[in-house]
């Protein structure tokens, strides 16, 4: 009787220890992956650029990451601005406050919509392309042949793409903001007849350059770093098969959208929430 009790107690303790070990294992795996991405980024960032070549590769990537994303950014921002103008006007005119349309459009764009929607579109357009490109390079063993030739693929392939993504997202979201504000202006002032002076005047009195515009730019720099980081890492660490590349591309879009939305909350809390 006594022995049976001891046996049962021992089994319970053992299963508890097993559960603990499982938690520990998954934590270690997560930390290991996180550390790997950190070491990877360190190698990417630390590499000293060789002047003419690096600049040329950076310009090439600015073209494929930034310029080619321009059309989707401009088109969607124009329509987002127009929708904001339309929705804002119908709600504000109910309270007889349609003069406040300018500040509504400008503040919501500069603080939130510009950086966030810009980053989401960027993840879909440029991030997925980066992952697929690097993944395909890995699958066709271009990366290992570079390594065989004594060229570091992190420096040659990943670094210019990362810097190009980091630089182009803030620029894209600046263009996004400007175009969207003009879209809202077109709908609100030219079409719905809000007073033009009140539109710009209220906007200028409410929007502060440092606390609104500069904080929006900081947000989009952070988003640009996170989105390109996720996409190049997913490309490098993808399984080199057709299926693996597809999965890595999906992961890029999902992870970077989630990261952008979650980080946005914390950045907003720090910047505007007086945390």
Smaller CB distance to other proteins: residue 12 or 60? 60
User: Distance between CA atoms of 197 and 188, rounded to whole angstroms?
Assistant: 12
Smaller CB distance to other proteins: residue 179 or 248? 179
How is residue 89 annotated by DSSP? H
CB 170 → other proteins: shortest distance, Å? 8
CB 228 → other proteins: shortest distance, Å? 16
User: Distance between CA atoms of 102 and 88, rounded to whole angstroms?
Assistant: 9
Q: Which two tokens stand for residue 144?
A: 């290992």
Query: Any contact of residue 133 with other proteins (CB under 8 A)?
Result: no
User: Distance between CA atoms of 236 and 27, rounded to whole angstroms?
Assistant: 22
* The one among 3, 4, 32, 95 contacting other proteins by CB under 8 A: 95
Note whether 112 and 264 are within 8 A (CB).
yes
Query: Any contact of residue 129 with other proteins (CB under 8 A)?
Result: no
User: Distance between CA atoms of 272 and 275, rounded to whole angstroms?
Assistant: 8
CB 23 → other proteins: shortest distance, Å? 47
Smaller CB distance to other proteins: residue 217 or 245? 217
CB 84 → other proteins: shortest distance, Å? 14
**Residues numbered 99-118 forming contacts with other proteins, rule: CB under 8 A:** 99, 106, 110
Residue 212 backbone phi and psi in degrees, to 5: -105, -55
CB 263 → other proteins: shortest distance, Å? 22
- DSSP 3-state of 30: helix
Stretch of residues binding other proteins (CB under 8 A), selected from 89-97, 125-133, 152-160, 267-275: 89-97
Smaller CB distance to other proteins: residue 80 or 248? 80
Torsion, CA 79, CA 84, CA 85, CA 90, rounded to 10: 130
Note whether 187 and 86 are within 8 A (CB).
yes
CB 124 → other proteins: shortest distance, Å? 19
Q: Which two tokens stand for residue 13?
A: 């303790």
Q: Which two tokens stand for residue 132?
A: 């697929």
Size of the site for other proteins (CB under 8 A): 37
Find, among 270, 229, 207, the residue nearest to 119 by Cα. Answer: 229
**Residues numbered 148-207 forming contacts with other proteins, rule: CB under 8 A:** 168, 170-172, 174-175, 177-179, 181, 195, 197-198, 200-205, 207
Q: Which positions touch other proteins (CB under 8 A)?
A: 59-60, 62-63, 66-67, 70, 95-97, 99, 106, 110, 168, 170-172, 174-175, 177-179, 181, 195, 197-198, 200-205, 207-209, 212-213
């Amino acid at each position: 009787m006594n022995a049976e009790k001891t046996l049962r107690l021992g089994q319970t303790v053992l299963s508890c220890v097993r559960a603990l070990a499982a938690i520990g294992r998954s934590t270690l795996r997560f930390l290991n992956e996180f550390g790997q991405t950190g070491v990877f980024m360190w190698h990417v960032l630390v590499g000293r650029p060789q002047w003419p070549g690096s600049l040329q590769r950076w310009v090439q990537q600015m073209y494929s990451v930034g310029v080619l994303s321009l059309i989707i950014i401009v088109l969607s921002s124009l329509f987002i601005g127009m929708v904001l103008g339309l929705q804002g006007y119908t709600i504000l005119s109910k309270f007889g406050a349609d003069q406040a349309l300018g500040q509504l459009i400008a503040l919501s764009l500069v603080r939130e919509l510009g950086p966030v929607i810009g980053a989401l579109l960027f993840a879909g357009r440029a991030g997925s392309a980066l992952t697929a490109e690097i993944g395909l390079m890995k699958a066709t063993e271009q990366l290992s042949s570079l390594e065989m030739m004594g060229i570091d693929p992190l420096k040659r392939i990943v670094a210019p793409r990362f810097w190009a993504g980091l630089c182009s997202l803030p620029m894209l979201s600046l263009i996004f903001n400007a175009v969207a504000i003009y879209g809202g202006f077109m709908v609100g002032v030219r079409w719905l007849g809000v007073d033009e002076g009140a539109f710009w005047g209220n906007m200028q009195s409410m929007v502060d350059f440092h606390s609104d515009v500069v904080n929006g730019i900081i947000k989009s720099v952070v988003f640009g770093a996170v989105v390109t980081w996720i996409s190049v890492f997913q490309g490098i660490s993808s399984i080199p098969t057709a299926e693996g590349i597809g999965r890595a591309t999906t992961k890029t879009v999902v992870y970077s959208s989630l990261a952008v939305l979650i980080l946005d909350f914390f950045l907003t809390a720090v910047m505007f929430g007086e945390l």
